[in-house]
Amino acid sequence: MKVLPFKIPRNNSDMIMVQHDQESHIYHILHQHPELQLTLIRKSFGTAVIGGHIGEFEEGDVFIIGSNVPHVFRNDESFYENTDLIEADVIYVFLDELMPENTLLNHELVQNIFVAAKQGIKLKGELREKVGKGIERLLKVKGLERLIQVLSIIDLLADEDNMLLLNQEMIKQSIDENDGKRLNDVIQFTFENYAEKITLEQVAEIANMVPSAFCRFFKQRTRKTYFDFLNEIRIRHACRLLLNKDMTIVKICFLSGFNNLSYFNRKFKQMTGYSPLKYHNALKGVRDR
């Protein structure tokens, strides 16, 4: 299977393809495709990389990913320990890139969604729930009914206040297959080794580049430095560890791959707006209610 681009299996006449996956973990290879993708996480959690965005995903989340935007949903390592269990339940909806031109109904709104999705979108509040239910209904309908249901979902997306754009700019440049494989290898290595010491020389070697060329390559394709990316992965992991009320901040610091507590505190606050202790106490307050 090619890493990039990713081929969506469908009939040539289908503008809409619905895929329901129930597996031990979500497909975790960085990929892109010309279709717009709606993703409903029915059961699962982990880290989403969408363009240059890195963030958490959890049960009930709905994402909209534009045409040829590189993305991957990566489960936590616990999902890979027992592959006999169904721990990930996800519905994907793929809309043909030519759908705005071929659909007369709600043409302007369809076009706007396809454009906005180039930044990656995560839904919030009631919109998240309404669109999630709409996506689930797509499993039960076919043909014209399916098209009508998709258009009703798009109608809901006029609620811009509950749509979070994940990247500051549209992702305009797709990644060719060779660069995609390099980027995927680096991302997979990072997810598997973020708790260990990682050097620039290591990741540059994985990409088969000298360090200076790798730094330019990674920044051009993700709009961030490699070590910004690595720190975001580590802080997301620390946030999940902070759910454990019995684990100390110092232990979480080192389990997340940081070897300096003051640096960990500074980076954590830059990303979350809170110190690790305040974040932990806020979570504790929610649990105690």
Residue burial 60-72, b: 16+ Cβ < 10 Å; e: rest: ebbbbbbbbbbbb
Domain that holds residue 221: 177-288
Domain boundary among 137, 165, 193: 165
- Averaged over successive runs of 10 residues, the pLDDT of the chain (289 residues) comes to 47 77 93 95 94 92 95 89 86 87 64 92 97 96 91 91 91 77 94 95 96 95 92 93 86 95 95 90 59
User: In the prediction, which pLDDT does 3 show?
Assistant: 41
Q: Into how many domains does the chain fold?
A: 2
Looking at residue 80, what is its pLDDT? Answer: 85
- Whether residue 191 is found in the same domain as residue 140: no
Same domain, 21 and 146: yes
Q: Residues 202, 190: contact at Cβ < 8 Å?
A: no
> Among 115, 133, 165, where does a domain finish?
165
The answer as to whether 172 is a domain residue is no
Sign of CA dihedral 278, 59, 256, 169: negative
Q: What is the CATH number of the domain that holds 118?
A: 2.60.120.10
Q: Which of 253, 227, 220 is nearest to 239 (CA)?
A: 253
pLDDT of residue 285: 53
| pLDDT in the model for residue 261 | 96
| Three-state SS annotation for 220-246 | HHHCCCHHHHHHHHHHHHHHHHCCCCC
pLDDT confidence of residue 58: 94
CATH number at residue 248: 1.10.10.60
Please tell me the distance from the alpha carbon of residue 17 to that of residue 37, in angstroms, as a whole number: 10
Residue 123 domain flag: yes
Rounded Cα–Cα distance for residues 203 and 214 (Å): 8
- What is the SS3 assignment for 173? coil
- Per-residue pLDDT, 170: 79
Q: Are residues 159 and 23 in the same domain?
A: yes
Instruction: Indicate whether 3 belongs to any domain.
Output: no
Do 133 and 205 lie in one domain? The reply is no
- Say whether both 66 and 106 belong to one domain: yes
**Which residue type does 98 have?**
L
Instruction: Say what the pLDDT of residue 103 is.
Output: 55
Indicate if 204 and 133 belong to the same structural domain. no
Q: Confirm whether pTM is higher than 0.85.
A: no
Residues 6 or more apart whose CB falls under 8 angstroms from that of 108 comprise none
**Best CA proximity match to 48, nearest among 134, 141, 166:** 166
pLDDT of residue 86: 84
Residues 218 and 153 in one domain: no
Together in a domain, 157 and 222: no
Does residue 4 form part of some domain?
no
Write the CB contacts of 203 (distance below 8 Å, at least 6 apart in sequence).
186, 189, 190, 214, 226
